[in-house]
C-alpha cells in the first residue's frame, strides 16, 4: 500500500525525531509520534516511569522511531532474492534487539533467533531486575537512616519489608520489560525464531531443525555468570547473580566474591535488607577498574560505613555450600603466593567474579573460528576474525560474546554500528564514549579513561593532562536532598579542551554522565560545552561546574556558537 | 537569580576531597605541638635516655573533629630524604578525606614508624624527623625500639597502642586470627568487628551466641555494656532471667491497683526483665519433671560444706556434667531457622538481689572443679550485690538454674530465658516415702526438678534423657568431686 511513502518519510524524519526525543527527555506525547503509533500505544506503556536502566533508555528512544516505521505493514523490509533474510541475529538480548530494530528501520528483512528468553541477561537476570531490587534498597536505606529522616523533619516508624514482595517487584519488572521487547519486535515484523541458533557455514544458520540463510549474520549470544573452579554453586547458599536476583532468601551474612559492579550493587541491596557482607577481592584493592580516587571515596561511603568487611588480595579457592548443619565454608588463599590464608564461615556466598561468554555450540568450528577464553575475536567493526586472522565475510559478533565492553548498551550500540555498516555506511563505534554505571546508593558512573589510563596515554603521546573536580556538597539540589556526599571528576587535555574521561560518584550519577558521554561521542570540546546552560537548581549543575572549572587554553569555537544561535 | 546562583556555586565548588593542610599556618599552635614534638621533653618513661639531639616525632594529626585514627596513604618522602619547611611529607587518610601533611621544620625524614597502608591513632608517632644527617642513624635505632616497645602510651589522646592494630581491624585484609588453631576459631560478623573496634572491645573475649557460635553485633554490644542498638532503654542484662522474675513477683509484691495504691515505674532492671518475659512468649516451651533422690548428695554436701562448697555449686556442676552428655539441651535457637551448639557450658544461676534478680554465670561449669566453682560463685554473688558484674558475667549463660528449695518450695515452673535452650527449676529436697522395686517402703530425701525447654530444638525424649543423667549424677555424686 503506502509502504514506499511512509518508509521514505520515516527515514527522512528519523534523525529529527530522534533528536527531539533526546532533548525533550523522551516524552512520548509528541503529537508526531501519536499520529504514527495509532493503536500501538502499548509500546510506550512503561515510558512514564523515569527510573530507567541505561539499557532501557536505549530501547525506548529506538522504539519510537520504530513505531513510526511500523506503519508500513511490511515494515520488515523485502527479502532479498537469494537469501531467506537480509540479517539473522543469533540471540535476542539487548544487543540483538537493538540491532534488529535498527535493521528494520534500515529496511532489512530481519530474523532473530532466541534459545532462551527474549531480553537475555540484561532484562531477565541482570540490569533490569537488579534495578528493581536497588530501587527497594535505596528506599529502605533512606527510611532506616534516622539521622537522614530527622534532618528532613520526617518521622518514620520502623521500616520493614516483605521479602517476597520485593522479589515479586523484580520479577514483575523483568516480565514487563521482556514483553515490551517482544512486542516491539513483533510489531515491526521481526521474525522471532525459537531455538538454539548455530552457524552452519557462511551465511547459513541452523535453529532447531530448520536451516535458514541470511546475507549477514550477527552473533549476539551474550554471557553467563563466571564461576571459578573450586566453587560449588548449589543455588541456595552458594549462588550467582542469576539466583540472587530472585531474592529467595536474605541471609544474615553473605560473602560476595568480587567487588566489581555486580558485587557492589548486591552489597547495596543486601545491606539495606539487613544482611552483613564480606567482600572477597583477588586484587589488592576493592573496586578495581574504577578511577582510584572515585573508588576510594566510594569505599568510604559504600563500604566503610556499612556492615561490610573485606579481604583483598585473596582468591576463594574452595567454597562449599551449607549442608549437614554446617555453614558455607570459604577457603581463602593468597592471590600471589597461593598459600592458604583463612577460612570463612558465612551463611551464603554470592559469586560475582564476572561473566563468561556464552559461545559454546555455536558451530564456530564450521567457519574456522577459534574463541579466545570463550570470546569471539572481532575487529573494531565487530567483524569476526577466523583462526588464520582473516575476516569471516558477513559474520559479526556483538555484545558480551566478543568481550570488548560487557555492558548491555554497548552491545546495542555495537549492533547498530554493524547494521550501519551492512547498509552501506561505514561506522566504527568509539568505545571510549560508552558510559558505564553502578547503581549503588549513591551511584557511580564513568565514561572514557581513568586518571592513570589518561596519564599513561598522555606520556606516550606527549600531551598534558589536567583534572577538574567538583563536589556534590556545592550543589543546591543535592543539598536539598541531604545527599551532599559525592564527587565529579573530569580528566581533560588543557591544550585543546578534549574530554578524556569523566567519573561521577554521587546522587543520580548514572543519569548525569550522559552529558559527558555525548560530548565525547560528538567530539564537543570543553570550551564550547561550558557555555551551555543548565537549569537551576539541578544536579546537572555538578557537571556544568566541572566543565566551568576546567582551564582550557583554546578559545571557544565561534562556529559552534553561531550554530547554537541559529537554532 | 541566575547571578546569585552561579556565584554561589562557583565559590563553593572548590571543595575537594584532597586538600592540603599546612600545620605551620592553618592549625593552631596547640595542634602543632601534637604533630611534631621534640623528644627532649619526651614522655616521662623515656627520661632515662638523655637525648641531646633534635629528633622530632611526626605525629598522626587530627584532621577532623571526629577522627580517632588515620591511615597512612603514602609517604611522599622516603627515609633519609631531606625535608624543607612547608613540604608535604605524608598523605594521611582520615574518616573524611585524604590530606597532605606538611613539615614545618627543616631536616631529614629519619625513620618511618608507621608504614603505608597502616593505621595509627591520632597523636601516635608515625615517623621521626632528624635535624641533621648525622642524627639519622640514632633516630633509626630509636624507631626500632619504638616499634618493639609501644612507647606512645603516654601520648595524651590515644589509648590504644600504635603499631599493631588493637582489635582485628576490619580494614586489614590479612586475617588476624590464626588459621590453624584447631576446630574452634573466633568467627565474628563484619558489623560485630566494626562495633568491637569502635567500642574498643577485644573480640577474642566476646562469647559468640549467633548461629554456629559466631560473634554477632549484639554480642559485642552486650560485651561493651551498651544496650543493643534497637531498644533505646533498658541497659541492663538482656538475657537475664525469667525464672527469677517469678521470684521477683513473689518476693517484691508489685502493688495491686487499689484506690490508695501508688504507681512505681520500672527500674531499668525491671524493664529488662519485663522485656525478656514478653520475648519469651514467642518460644514454644514444654516442661518435664523428675524426682531425684538426694540422700547421697546431702551426705556429700555435709562433707564438702566446710571446704566452702555451696549447694548451688553442686547443682551447677551436676547440671554441667549432664549437659556435656546432652549437648542439645545446651543449644540455643535464635532465629527459628537454625540453632547452634554452644561451645561452652555456662550455667546461669538466678539470684534474687534487693529489688530484682540477676543471673550470674558460672562459665565452663562442666570443666571447673567443685572448689573453683564454689569460689567463683562467691565472687559472682559479691559482685552481683555490689552491682559490679561485667556483661559477660551475666549474659553468657547457655542454661539456667533456678533454685527455690531453700524457701521450702517443693516444685515450681520456670520461664525459659530468650536465647537459651532450657532452664531447670529445683525444688526443696524433702523426706518422702518411696517404694523400691521389691515393694519395700523407705523414706528418702527426694527433690523435684522441673525443666522448661525450647521445643523447637529440644524434644521430650532429649529432656527425659538429660534428666535421667542428671539424676544419676546426683544419686552417685562422687563424680562431682573428681
Nearest CB among A304, A326, A471 relative to B15 is that of: A471
3-state helix, strand, coil in chain B (%, to 5): 35, 20, 45
Angstrom distance (rounded) from CA A299 to CA A308: 10
What pLDDT sits at residue A237?
A: 95
Sign of CA dihedral A386, A389, A393, A394: positive
Cα of A281 to nearest chain B Cα, Å: 10
**Interface A:B, Cβ pairs < 8 A:** 85
| A351-362 confidence digits (pLDDT tens) | 999 999 999 999
The DSSP code sequence of A417-473 is HHHHHHTT------GGG--EEE-SSSEEEEEE--HHHHHHHHHHHT---EEEEEEGG
Q: How many CB atoms lie within 10 A of CB A111?
A: 24
User: Taking 70 as the threshold, does the pLDDT of residue A378 lie above it?
Assistant: yes
> What mean pLDDT do residues A43-67 have?
41
User: Taking 60 as the threshold, does the pLDDT of residue A561 lie above it?
Assistant: no
| Touching A: B residues 174-193, CB under 8 Å | 174-175, 177, 179, 185, 187, 189-191, 193
Contact A467, A451 (CB under 8 A): yes
Q: Looking at A409-418, A479-488, B267-276, which range is the least confident one?
A: B267-276
Contacts of B171 in chain A (CB under 8 A): 304
Nearest CB among A296, A326, A471 relative to B13 is that of: A471
More confident residue, B73 or A282: A282
User: Taking 90 as the threshold, does the pLDDT of residue A343 lie above it?
Assistant: yes
> What mean pLDDT do residues A318-337 have?
93
What pLDDT sits at residue B66?
A: 65
Question: What distances in angstroms separate CA B457 from CA B396, B418, B466, one per listed residue?
Answer: 19, 13, 14
What pLDDT sits at residue B286?
A: 94
Catalytic, A536? Answer yes
Query: Is 0.90 exceeded by the ipTM?
Result: no
What pLDDT sits at residue B233?
A: 33
More confident residue, A118 or B51: A118
User: Taking 70 as the threshold, does the pLDDT of residue A156 lie above it?
Assistant: yes
Digit-by-digit pLDDT tens for chain B (482 residues) are 333 433 333 333 333 444 444 333 333 333 333 344 444 444 444 444 444 557 788 888 877 666 777 888 888 888 888 888 877 888 887 665 677 787 778 888 888 888 887 888 888 888 888 888 777 777 777 777 655 443 333 333 333 333 333 333 333 333 333 334 444 578 899 999 888 888 888 888 888 888 888 999 988 888 887 765 543 333 333 344 444 444 444 444 445 566 667 777 777 777 778 888 888 888 999 999 999 999 999 999 998 888 888 888 999 999 999 999 999 999 998 887 888 899 899 999 998 877 677 889 999 998 888 888 999 999 898 888 877 777 788 888 999 999 998 888 999 999 999 889 999 999 999 999 988 888 889 899 999 999 999 999 999 999 999 999 999 999 999 888 87
User: Taking 60 as the threshold, does the pLDDT of residue A55 lie above it?
Assistant: no
Kindly identify which residue of chain A lies nearest to residue B198, measuring between CA atoms.
Answer: A305
Angstrom distance (rounded) from CA A299 to CA A255: 17
A345 to B175: CB separation less than 8 angstroms, yes or no:
no
User: Taking 90 as the threshold, does the pLDDT of residue A181 lie above it?
Assistant: yes
B15 to A474: CB separation less than 8 angstroms, yes or no:
yes
Contacts of B16 in chain A (CB under 8 A): 469, 471
More confident residue, A31 or B445: B445
Cα of A154 to nearest chain B Cα, Å: 19
What pLDDT sits at residue B263?
A: 74
Q: Looking at A41-55, A525-539, B196-210, B299-313, which range is the least confident one?
A: A41-55
What pLDDT sits at residue B272?
A: 77
Contact A546, A509 (CB under 8 A): no
φ and ψ of B62, to 5 deg: -90, 105
User: Taking 50 as the threshold, does the pLDDT of residue A427 lie above it?
Assistant: yes
Contacts of B338 in chain A (CB under 8 A): 325
Cα of A470 to nearest chain B Cα, Å: 6
A473 to B15: CB separation less than 8 angstroms, yes or no:
yes
Cα of A563 to nearest chain B Cα, Å: 24
Catalytic residue among B45, B199, B392, B455: B455
What pLDDT sits at residue B226?
A: 75
A311 to B173: CB separation less than 8 angstroms, yes or no:
yes
Interface test with B, best of A274, A276, A348, A540 (most B CBs within 10 A): A276
Which residues of chain A have a Cβ shorter than 8 Å from any chain B Cβ?
Answer: 252-253, 276-278, 293, 296-297, 300, 304, 307-314, 325-327, 332, 340-345, 347, 469-471, 473-476, 487, 536-537, 541, 545, 548-549
B187 to A345: CB separation less than 8 angstroms, yes or no:
yes
For cell 525443666, name the residue.
B451
What pLDDT sits at residue B448?
A: 93
A309 to B190: CB separation less than 8 angstroms, yes or no:
yes
Instruction: Kindly report the average pLDDT of chain A as a whole number.
Output: 85
Q: Does B343 touch chain A (CB under 8 A)?
A: no
What pLDDT sits at residue B179?
A: 39
More confident residue, B340 or A491: A491
B189 to A252: CB separation less than 8 angstroms, yes or no:
yes
User: Taking 60 as the threshold, does the pLDDT of residue A26 lie above it?
Assistant: no
What pLDDT sits at residue B184?
A: 55
Amino acid at each position: 500500500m503506502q509502504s514506499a511513502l511512509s518508509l521514505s518519510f520515516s527515514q527522512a524524519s528519523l534523525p529529527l525525531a530522534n533528536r527531539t526525543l533526546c532533548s525533550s527527555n523522551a516524552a512520548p506525547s509528541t503529537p508526531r509520534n501519536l499520529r504514527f503509533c495509532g493503536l500501538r500505544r502499548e509500546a510506550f506503556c512503561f515510558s512514564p516511569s523515569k527510573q530507567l536502566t541505561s539499557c532501557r533508555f536505549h530501547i525506548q528512544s529506538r522504539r519510537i522511531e520504530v513505531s513510526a516505521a511500523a506503519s508500513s505493514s511490511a515494515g520488515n523490509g523485502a527479502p532479498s532474492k537469494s537469501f531467506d533474510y537480509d540479517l539473522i541475529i543469533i540471540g535476542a538480548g539487548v544487543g540483538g534487539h537493538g540491532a534488529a530494530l535498527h535493521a528494520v528501520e534500515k529496511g532489512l528483512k530481519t530474523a532473530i533467533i532466541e534459545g532462551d528468553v527474549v531480553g537475555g541477561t540484561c532484562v531477565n537476570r541482570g540490569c533490569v531486575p537488579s534495578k528493581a531490587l536497588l530501587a527497594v534498597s535505596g528506599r529502605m536505606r533512606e527510611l532506616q537512616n534516622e539521622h537522614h529522616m530527622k534532618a528532613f523533619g520526617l518521622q518514620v516508624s520502623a521500616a520493614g519489608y516483605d521479602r517476597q514482595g520485593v522479589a515479586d517487584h523484580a520479577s514483575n519488572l523483568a516480565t514487563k520489560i521482556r514483553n515490551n521487547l517482544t512486542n516491539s519486535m513483533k510489531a515491526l515484523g521481526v521474525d522471532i525464531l525459537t531455538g538454539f541458533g548455530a552457524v552452519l557455514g557462511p551465511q547459513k544458520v541452523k535453529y532447531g531443525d530448520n536451516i535458514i540463510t541470511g546475507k549477514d549474520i550477527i552473533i549476539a549470544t551474550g554471557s553467563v555468570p563466571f564461576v571459578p573452579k573450586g566453587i560449588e554453586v548449589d543455588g541456595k547458599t552458594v549462588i550467582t547473580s542469576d539466583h540472587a536476583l530472585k531474592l529467595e532468601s536474605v541471609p544474615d551474612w553473605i560473602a560476595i566474591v568480587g567487588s566489581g559492579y555486580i558485587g557492589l550493587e548486591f552489597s547495596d541491596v543486601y545491606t539495606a535488607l539487613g544482611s552483613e557482607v564480606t567482600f572477597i577481592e583477588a586484587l589488592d584493592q576493592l573496586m578495581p577498574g574504577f578511577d582510584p580516587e572515585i573508588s576510594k571515596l566510594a569505599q568510604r561511603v559504600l563500604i566503610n560505613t556499612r556492615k561490610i568487611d573485606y579481604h583483598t588480595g585473596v582468591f576463594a579457592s574452595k567454597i562449599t555450600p551449607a549442608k549437614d548443619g554446617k555453614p558455607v565454608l570459604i577457603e581463602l588463599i593468597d592471590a600471589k603466593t597461593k598459600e592458604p590464608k583463612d577460612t570463612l564461615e558465612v551463611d551464603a556466598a554470592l559469586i560475582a567474579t564476572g561473566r563468561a561468554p556464552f559461545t559454546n555450540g555455536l558451530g564456530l568450528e564450521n567457519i574456522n573460528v577459534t574463541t579466545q577464553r570463550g570470546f569471539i575475536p572481532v575487529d573494531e567493526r565487530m567483524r569476526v576474525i577466523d583462526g588464520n586472522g582473516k575476516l569471516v565475510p558477513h559474520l559479526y559478533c556483538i555484545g558480551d560474546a566478543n568481550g570488548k565492553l560487557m555492558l548491555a548498551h554497548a552491545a546495542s550500540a555495537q549492533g547498530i554500528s554493524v547494521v550501519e555498516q551492512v547498509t552501506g555506511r561505514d561506522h566504527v563505534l568509539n568505545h571510549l564514549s560508552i558510559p558505564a554505571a553502578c547503581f549503588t546508593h549513591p551511584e557511580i558512573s564513568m565514561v572514557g579513561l581513568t586518571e592513570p589510563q589518561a596519564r599513561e596515554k598522555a606520556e606516550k603521546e606527549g600531551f598534558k593532562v589536567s583534572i577538574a573536580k567538583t563536589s556534590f556538597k556545592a550543589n543546591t539540589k543535592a543539598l536539598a536532598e541531604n545527599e551532599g556526599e559525592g564527587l565529579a571528576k573530569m580528566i581533560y587535555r588543557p591544550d585543546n579542551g578534549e574530554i578524556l574521561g569523566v567519573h561521577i560518584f554521587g546522587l543520580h550519577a548514572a543519569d548525569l554522565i550522559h552529558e559527558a558521554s555525548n560530548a565525547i561521542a560528538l567530539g564537543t570540546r570543553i570550551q564550547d560545552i561550558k557555555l551551555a546552560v543548565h537549569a537551576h537548581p539541578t544536579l546537572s549543575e555538578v557537571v556544568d561546574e566541572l566543565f566551568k572549572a576546567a582551564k582550557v587554553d583554546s578559545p571557544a569555537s565561534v562556529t559552534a556558537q553561531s550554530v547554537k544561535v541559529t537554532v | 537569580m541566575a547571578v546569585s546562583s552561579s556565584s554561589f556555586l562557583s565559590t563553593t565548588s572548590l571543595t575537594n576531597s584532597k586538600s592540603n593542610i599546612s600545620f605551620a599556618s592553618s592549625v593552631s599552635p596547640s595542634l602543632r605541638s601534637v604533630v611534631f614534638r621534640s623528644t627532649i621533653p619526651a614522655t616521662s618513661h623515656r627520661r632515662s635516655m638523655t637525648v641531646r639531639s633534635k629528633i622530632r616525632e611526626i605525629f598522626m594529626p587530627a584532621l577532623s573533629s571526629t577522627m580517632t585514627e588515620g591511615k597512612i596513604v603514602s609517604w611522599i618522602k622516603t627515609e633519609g630524604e631531606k625535608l624543607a619547611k612547608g613540604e608535604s611529607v605524608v598523605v594521611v587518610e582520615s574518616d573524611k578525606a585524604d590530606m597532605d601533611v606538611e613539615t614545618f621544620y627543616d631536616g631529614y625524614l629519619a625513620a618511618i614508624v608507621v608504614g603505608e597502608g597502616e593505621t595509627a591513632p591520632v597523636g601516635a608517632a608515625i615517623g621521626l624527623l632528624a635535624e641533621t644527617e648525622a642524627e639519622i642513624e640514632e633516630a633509626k635505632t630509636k624507631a626500632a625500639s619504638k616499634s618493639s616497645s609501644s612507647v606512645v602510651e603516654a601520648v595524651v589522646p590515644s589509648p590504644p597502642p600504635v603499631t599493631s592494630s588493637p582489635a582485628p581491624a576490619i580494614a586489614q585484609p590479612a586475617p588476624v586470627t590464626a588459621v590453624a588453631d584447631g576446630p574452634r576459631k573466633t568467627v565474628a560478623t563484619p558489623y560485630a568487628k566494626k562495633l568491637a573496634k569502635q567500642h574498643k572491645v577485644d573480640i577474642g573475649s566476646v562469647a559468640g551466641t549467633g548461629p554456629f557460635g559466631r560473634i554477632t553485633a549484639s554480642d559485642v554490644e552486650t560485651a561493651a555494656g551498651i544496650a543493643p542498638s534497637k531498644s533505646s532503654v533498658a541497659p541492663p542484662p538482656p538475657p537475664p532471667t525469667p525464672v527469677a522474675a517469678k521470684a521477683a513477683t513473689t518476693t517484691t509484691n508489685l502493688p495491686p491497683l487499689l484506690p490508695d495504691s501508688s504507681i512505681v515505674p520500672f527500674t531499668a532492671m525491671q524493664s529488662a526483665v519485663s522485656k525478656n518475659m514478653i520475648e519469651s512468649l514467642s518460644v514454644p516451651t514444654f516442661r518435664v519433671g523428675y524426682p531425684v533422690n538426694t540422700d547421697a548428695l546431702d551426705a556429700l554436701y555435709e562433707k564438702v560444706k566446710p571446704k566452702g562448697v555451696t549447694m548451688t555449686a553442686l547443682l551447677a556442676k551436676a547440671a554441667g556434667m549432664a549437659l556435656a552428655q546432652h549437648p542439645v539441651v545446651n543449644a540455643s535457637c535464635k532465629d527459628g531457622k537454625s540453632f547452634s551448639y554452644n561451645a561452652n557450658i555456662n550455667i546461669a544461676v538466678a539470684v534474687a538481689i534487693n529489688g530484682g534478680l540477676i543471673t550470674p554465670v558460672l562459665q565452663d561449669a562442666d570443666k571447673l572443679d567443685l572448689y573453683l566453682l564454689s569460689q567463683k560463685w562467691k565472687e559472682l554473688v559479691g559482685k552481683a550485690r555490689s552491682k559490679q558484674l561485667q556483661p559477660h558475667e551475666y549474659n553468657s549463660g547457655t542454661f539456667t538454674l533456678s533454685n527455690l528449695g531453700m524457701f521450702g518450695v517443693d516444685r515450681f515452673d520456670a520461664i525459659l530465658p530468650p536465647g537459651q535452650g532450657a532452664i531447670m527449676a529445683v525444688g526443696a529436697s524433702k523426706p518422702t516415702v518411696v517404694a523400691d522395686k521389691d515393694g519395700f517402703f523407705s523414706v528418702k530425701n527426694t527433690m523435684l526438678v522441673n525443666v522448661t525447654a525450647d521445643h523447637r530444638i529440644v524434644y521430650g525424649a532429649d529432656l527425659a534423657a538429660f534428666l535421667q543423667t542428671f539424676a544419676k549424677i546426683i544419686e552417685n555424686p562422687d563424680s562431682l568431686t573428681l
